[in-house]
Amino acid sequence: MLALLAWWREAGVSDALDEVPLDWTAEPGRAPGAAFDWPEKSTSAPEGARVTTGTQAPAAERAPHIRGPAAPAPPAGRDPQPTRRAPTQVASARNAARSAETLVRLQELLQSFDGCPLKVTAKSLCFYRGSETARVAVIGEAPGREEDLAGKPFVGRAGQLLDRMLAAIGLAESDVHITNIVYWRPPGNRTPTPEEAQACRPFLERQLELVAPEFILTLGGPAAKAILDVNDGILKLRGRWREVRIGSHSVRVMPTLHPAYLLRQPEAKRQAWRDLLQLKAALDGQTGSPSP
């Protein structure tokens, strides 16, 4: 039995969602998340509120037009999306996010937002930890199991390593704003899909506008790709400053390796350390870029 549980866990089955198993493959149209309304081009943020990079067109304009399968009629009996909202409610939640005046209000809006299917399987919303007005925003990929239980980003082993990495350049939790590109744990800790990141994006953009950091440290490939809107791998992206616009100001972005990767590949810590030293130099007002 233990071996079977370990095998399921390995395959991504990490949490029991119901008392009895249900074969979703027999009812594909009803699978959790099948009927979510994905963000469309027309619901993108107003110009001033977008995160854009360099001279490229804004991310939302280049995003493919994504739409999930048509919503099936609610079946009799159990509904796998008990809190699902009408598409107009989802769109208005996104629009409200763009005008939220505080992080508290943004969190309230996220709590009632049903436009990201990850919410169905997650236990908690993981919004942020750290300061509301930090000079540095740290952006990871997605909450994991520990984070889902605690309702905060980066509280597990990777988070503890992150805290030690930041402390090594003199940054405490109160000096940084730590969040992720999605606010709910993907089942089995898989990588969030671009659609899931896109669903959370208006909230992340507004969050960054409100925090107004001078620097962003992205952790791992998915976060770097989502923030910089590029497709390169993290080993190519890390260690080089980029610039993105958030609202009316520009922010310098330093992509680095994810602490979970560093736990598996400790020899890569020296690369992450070089990236962190560049962040420290920038915080101290020094210019110049040591080689990656």
Enumerate binding residues for ligand URA (CB under 6 A): 140-144, 147, 153-154, 156, 158-159, 180, 260
Shortest Å distance, C-beta 181 to ligand URA: 8
Between residues 63 and 142, which has the closer beta carbon with respect to ligand URA? 142
Between residues 117 and 153, which has the closer beta carbon with respect to ligand URA? 153
Residue with the shortest CB distance to ligand URA? 140
Shortest Å distance, C-beta 66 to ligand URA: 22
Residues 6+ apart with CB under 8 A from 115: 36, 37, 38, 39, 85, 90, 93, 94, 199
Between residues 90 and 234, which has the closer beta carbon with respect to ligand URA? 234
Q: What are phi and psi of 177, to 5 degrees?
A: -120, 115
Between residues 221 and 247, which has the closer beta carbon with respect to ligand URA? 221
CA atoms of 89 and 54, how far apart (whole Å): 33
Between residues 35 and 161, which has the closer beta carbon with respect to ligand URA? 161
Shortest Å distance, C-beta 140 to ligand URA: 3
Shortest Å distance, C-beta 223 to ligand URA: 7
| Contact status, residue 245 vs residue 51, Cβ threshold 8 Å | yes
Shortest Å distance, C-beta 64 to ligand URA: 24
Between residues 80 and 144, which has the closer beta carbon with respect to ligand URA? 144
Between residues 142 and 282, which has the closer beta carbon with respect to ligand URA? 142
Q: Using DSSP, state whether 255 is helix, strand or coil.
A: strand
Shortest Å distance, C-beta 154 to ligand URA: 4
| Contact status, residue 137 vs residue 180, Cβ threshold 8 Å | no
Structure tokens that stand for 78 in this block? 């159990």
CA distances from 57 to 2, 202, 230 (A): 51, 17, 12
CA atoms of 156 and 161, how far apart (whole Å): 9
CA atoms of 90 and 263, how far apart (whole Å): 38
Shortest Å distance, C-beta 200 to ligand URA: 13
Residues 6+ apart with CB under 8 A from 194: 63, 226
Shortest Å distance, C-beta 185 to ligand URA: 9
Q: In sequence order, what DSSP letters do the residues of 77-146 get, joined into one string? A: S--S-TT---HHHHHHHHHHHHH--SHHHHHHHHHT----THHHH-SS----EE-SS-SEEEEES---HH
CA distances from 175 to 132, 133, 225 (A): 9, 8, 24
Between residues 114 and 141, which has the closer beta carbon with respect to ligand URA? 141
Cα 267 versus chain centre, distance: 26
